[in-house]
Homo-oligomer: A and B are copies of this chain.
């Protein structure tokens, strides 16, 4: 047991730093760190396997602050434990522009921030992905080098959000017993007491989803210790509802939403210092408390030294394989296999849906790269995301490489973030493109964090036909292209699909969307190319015979219409060229000269995409012609829908000739 007085002083150091930093920033959330300081102190001093000297060591326990507004809890912990990356000066810069200590924890700002949190519920769902990745990597590399816990502190907000249901149901089903959720059960939300908006029994709810759950006094270090010991011994994931007091110590604001999201103010802080027996000026930590934290950090770091010994004892090949996986490098020879497969496709010229082309490509990719961890939100046979050699990940066999995420698009996307953040795997997952709306908050976080996740989004337009407007994406390509640092690919044939996959896997600093067709598409890439054309963003696939009067730009399933229109225009004496534009974002990354060349100087520019025009003006100009959608789709066979919405080669020809004449 820790000495009680020592524990209290250590916990109060967190409370004081949180009060002080929020006060100095004149902005922030003091209540949460003050309420959970005891939990965090017990967790980090007695349980966490975390080396402050090597905070990114692969087998560390993961800690996710799902209630991200309580960011000062995490910053204070990292500082007190002695993480070099988090100085006292950093704490003083809380919430200032350019500081490591942003309002919410930002992945990449400092070692020890395992994921960006703030959008509620997602930290928990991301942690499920981390805990799953741990088991999957353990199944592959064994207990000696992969064997860690994932701890989460979540608040009422996290547990009210719908994504918490998806996350805990998946975790319970997969029996992720290395996952422990510490619920900051303070009974307070921004609108007041939780009884204003919920009457749920969280214990019963978690148990219904296959968790072990219990309620404790979250201010009592003995109770917290005992509960965490039970959690570590459990065969199920564990939720510990910790009764806490928001803003614990604050004389008038404790236990009230007044302590949640604003500085406490000088008088209140003074009162809290007195109540806590914390007799030190702002940002000052007495030597004995600082020492106690450093000792805890050193003790915790011992595990790494033992791990290093075990790791060194492994065969060189295993070590190299593990290191490669953790670095995230693709296997050697990977691009050669892709090149060979592309050559075979060029010979074969398959007329297949791009979702089918993706499935075929996945067979090559997953065989070559065991780190590819696939899945689908219950649309495996539609998204075609599972290769023949992938086995399912189950509670009995974490060694599989295919995750049946269930009908949980958002949970899937957040879990994929966790898998990517954990390291060792490159996650991809599928649903219908229209349901990127369900995934969107997690996709945004992937873009913000700059992590490699691949979304296999099929049924990418009205081309899906009869399921109708609820299932037909219209605005989704634009809405996804709008997200900073997101690559959106819409390949037009089998070769482009492989190249899109290659470019997505090469995109290590951000997520990628593959928008894939349900319907068959003719091959237009019929010559062997060693380079990846899709990586250019746009490139000419059919040159004009002579000076082009018309440049036609198209993506995905509409490239075929563009080629058809070119033939008609050529026949009518209007030389036309066709440019495939599989990725707007990658085109933006090319040189101005390349962009100018590929866009060209034809009098008439036409864009074709079975989606809205937004975003296209950058390519075709605001006076360009656009053949696409202007509103929602409709239920009907594909053969009826394209003509109904005027997306035909003849429509391109009519519009272009009218403009040429005008």
Residues of A within 8 A of B (CB): 25, 27-28, 68, 95-99, 102-104, 106, 116-120, 156-157, 160-166, 169-170, 172-173, 189-192, 196-202, 204-205, 207-210, 376, 378-382, 392, 404-411, 434-435, 437-438, 440-441, 444-445, 447-448, 465-471, 474-475, 478-479, 481-485, 612, 614-615, 617-618, 621-622, 630-632, 634-637, 640-641, 644
**Separation in Å of the A416 CB from the closest CB of chain B?**
15
Partner of A208, one of B205, B468, B618, B641: B205
Q: Do A408 and B636 touch (CB < 8 A)?
A: no
Q: Do B198 and A169 touch (CB < 8 A)?
A: yes
Q: Do B483 and A475 touch (CB < 8 A)?
A: yes
Can you identify 20 A-B contacts, CB atoms within 8 angstroms? Answer: A97-B634, A106-B468, A119-B470, A120-B407, A160-B169, A161-B407, A162-B411, A173-B200, A189-B406, A190-B382, A196-B392, A196-B406, A197-B405, A201-B208, A204-B207, A208-B208, A437-B440, A447-B632, A484-B631, A617-B617
**Separation in Å of the A97 CB from the closest CB of chain B?**
3
Q: Do B485 and A104 touch (CB < 8 A)?
A: no
Q: Do A635 and B162 touch (CB < 8 A)?
A: no
Q: Do A484 and B479 touch (CB < 8 A)?
A: no
Q: Do A478 and B470 touch (CB < 8 A)?
A: no
Interface centre among A116, A191, A405, A448, by most chain B C-beta atoms within 10 angstroms, is A191
Q: Do B166 and A407 touch (CB < 8 A)?
A: no
Chain B residues whose C-beta falls within 8 Å of the C-beta of A99 in the assembled complex: 635-636
Bound CA–CA A161/B644 (angstroms): 34
Q: A98-B636, A118-B471, A162-B408 are in contact. Are A25 and B378 (CB under 8 A)?
A: no
Q: Do B378 and A157 touch (CB < 8 A)?
A: yes
Chain B residues whose C-beta falls within 8 Å of the C-beta of A379 in the assembled complex: 190-191
Q: Do A163 and B162 touch (CB < 8 A)?
A: yes
Q: Do A106 and B166 touch (CB < 8 A)?
A: no
Q: Do B438 and A441 touch (CB < 8 A)?
A: yes
16 A-B pairs besides A27-B465, A97-B634, A200-B208 with CB distance below 8 A are: A95-B466, A104-B467, A160-B169, A160-B407, A161-B408, A191-B406, A196-B392, A196-B404, A197-B404, A197-B407, A197-B408, A204-B204, A204-B208, A481-B614, A482-B482, A617-B618
Chain B residues whose C-beta falls within 8 Å of the C-beta of A469 in the assembled complex: 102, 106, 448
- Copies of this subunit: 2
**Separation in Å of the A340 CB from the closest CB of chain B?**
32
A68 nearest in chain B by CB position: B470
**Separation in Å of the A7 CB from the closest CB of chain B?**
31
Q: A162-B408, A164-B162, A637-B97 are in contact. Are A475 and B482 (CB under 8 A)?
A: yes
Chain B residues whose C-beta falls within 8 Å of the C-beta of A25 in the assembled complex: 466
Chain B residues whose C-beta falls within 8 Å of the C-beta of A157 in the assembled complex: 378, 407
Chain B residues whose C-beta falls within 8 Å of the C-beta of A481 in the assembled complex: 614
**Separation in Å of the A457 CB from the closest CB of chain B?**
14
**Separation in Å of the A634 CB from the closest CB of chain B?**
6
A162 nearest in chain B by CB position: B162
A481 nearest in chain B by CB position: B614
Partner of A471, one of B104, B200, B466, B482: B104
List of 10 A-B pairs having minimum Cβ-Cβ separation, nearest first? A162-B162, A97-B636, A197-B406, A165-B165, A102-B635, A118-B470, A617-B617, A204-B208, A475-B482, A95-B466
Chain B residues whose C-beta falls within 8 Å of the C-beta of A28 in the assembled complex: 466
Bound CA–CA A404/B191 (angstroms): 8
Bound CA–CA A192/B394 (angstroms): 14
A69 nearest in chain B by CB position: B467
Q: A166-B161, A190-B381, A406-B198 are in contact. Are A470 and B440 (CB under 8 A)?
A: no
Interface centre among A170, A479, A622, by most chain B C-beta atoms within 10 angstroms, is A479
**Separation in Å of the A509 CB from the closest CB of chain B?**
13
Bound CA–CA A258/B621 (angstroms): 48
Q: Do B102 and A632 touch (CB < 8 A)?
A: no
Partner of A482, one of B192, B408, B479: B479
**Separation in Å of the A465 CB from the closest CB of chain B?**
7
Partner of A466, one of B103, B407, B485: B103
Bound CA–CA A410/B163 (angstroms): 10
Q: Do A27 and B162 touch (CB < 8 A)?
A: no
Partner of A169, one of B200, B405, B617: B200
Partner of A200, one of B172, B466, B621: B172
Q: Do B614 and A615 touch (CB < 8 A)?
A: yes
Q: Do A635 and B106 touch (CB < 8 A)?
A: yes
